[in-house]
Structure 1
Amino acid sequence: MPTFDVRANSFGFLRLMFAVLVIVSHSWPLGGFGKDPGRLDNNLGIFAVEGFFALSGFLITMSGSRLSIGRFLWHRILRIFPAYWVSLLLVAVVFAPIIWRTMRGLTEYPFASPPPTGFIFLNALLFQNQITIGDTLTGIPAALMWNGPLYTLPMEFACYLLIAVLMAGRVLTARMVAVLAAAAWGWVQLAQIGALGVYDDRQAKFTLCFLVGSLIYFLRERLLTLKLWLPLGALVILVVTYLTWGFHIFGIVAFAYLVLWIAYHLPFRAVGRRHDFSYGLYIYGWPVQQMAAYFGATQLGIVAYILISLAGAAVLAVASWYLIESPALRWKSADPMAWFRKKQTVNA
């Protein structure tokens, strides 16, 4: 059996592709062209996010297995929050004011209801407590929300915290993760049969994909270096359950495994290794699509709308990486508690 090489993978390529697929999927509802492509609640965008979570589960568990808990959390904060905060600022001080100005002067913009300050500060801790600013999105198909995909970020960070808890308890092991993955699978089933009442099952599905990715990290030598029989079986399960019934029972686990197997075997290993634009694409895709829809890009048809949206989001993603994300990650080796300890010593 071949030995697993953690550096030889196409995780960065798949993350980029999933970010693109999220934008493509959202182009239908945001452009007024209908629902996201896909069957029932398993549309293209949901598949892409589930793929993100599977990859994240593997990579975050690998990180948690190598770092101290403090360093682990510091790295996660640096990766998520700086670019996220800038995206909130950009919507509140650039995108929304541009649209507001086309309807009326900017004098009243700071006093819009709900206000731009609320969009920044009420959403600062990832939870989307204010989803719009005034009536800036009036007249477009998805008029109520400036950045829909951000709802997944607190779910993602909750998974990080779960890994941190396992690290703190010194139980970040294959056995414990398998137990949690089984519990998450049960959570999905309960949500599917309505046992949890009126409940959106996306958090359950995303958490399951994350934990499957986490478990596969521990079993990587056995599961990812296999050539064909297991991934082919997983592909059959995925296709059959998606087209008929039972995706939430078997298909979602098969999908998470396939994502990781493909990520390991694809040859695009240089993509995303030094420059990771996937997060920027993810957090800027929807706002760019809203701007494009407002200024009439949807009249050019779905293909042109997708291309315009991808181009605009790509520009912001590249800028985000070079100006925000990469500089923030240079602080990974910093000690965030050093200042606090120094102050305690001075005050002692």
Structure 2
Amino acid sequence: MNLTAGTISPEESADSNSSSDLQSLRDYLRGVLLGKTEQIDLVIACLLSRGHLLLDDLPGTGKTTLAKAIAEGIHGRLARVQCTPDLMPADITGFSLFNQKTREFEFRPGPVFADVLLADELNRTTPRTQSALLEAMAERQVTIDGKPHPLSATFFVIATQNPIDSHGAYPLPEAQLDRFAIKLRIGYPDREAQRRILQREVRDRTDINDDAKPSSPLSLTDLQLLQQRAQSVSVHRRVADYLIDLVEASRDDDAVELGVSPRGMMSWQAVSQAWAMLKGRDFVTPTDVAEVAHPVLSVRLLTRGETVDNVIDRIMNSVPAPEYK
């Protein structure tokens, strides 16, 4: 610690506040989604990297609960879209409506103008409607009638899909998948977590106050500061070269039809920076890159006749990690 006349420097004070805010968010989300510590950290890393999240899991595992908790945890506005085959692009982005009194067109913003957008079962809506999110997710703006409309600086998409029920579903196109930072499965909670869930449900029904229930810890401004701090996490050239080697290995693998794109590579680095920050470091190690490989690659690798997890394991084993001191 740098000491000057017994005081803490402004930089150290800011870092301390950021670390406290980050831990508060972690504690809050862990208190909402019980027994899922690693999954919560990956969700926060996705949020800090300014990416978007695809939840690919069975019904009833807490996907919607998690989305609501994130919005509450950052004091952000949540918008929810139930994706169905008859959903139109304007139902997501908004539309212009002619006002008979003013004789002018007025823009009516859609649910995309929120801080957190929950797109329930995104693969249930048509590719045309799915494409309404492409510009929003990549550029944080939508263009309507030739006019760009900026979205929230913290705009965060959480999309869900059910991996076992494909009837009436439309596979997400590669361009859509590549705009997500990670794909995550929450999975069923363990036995102790299930017991705590039942106990909490009883308390909620009987209106008993739960003093342990966490409160919303952050503001949107706090979140932006944390995102800026994550972007400033150092990436050594050897670590960057390691990441590039892995990306090129994904393109050269015989079982991979579509490897990691440059956008995917940048997303992988950003998530690695956020992951290092969650570990309390201001630099990325090869271990950080490897630990987030599965959620980052599983959303964007298109394979031929082999499971994505097996292909990712082979890619990671094919490239030696550099020594990092």
Give the TM-score of the pair, scaled to structure 1.
Answer: 0.22
Between 1 and 2, higher relative CO (CA 8 Å, sep ≥ 6) is seen in 1
Higher strand share: 2
Instruction: Name whichever structure is richer in helix by fraction.
Output: 1
TM-score by length of 2: 0.23
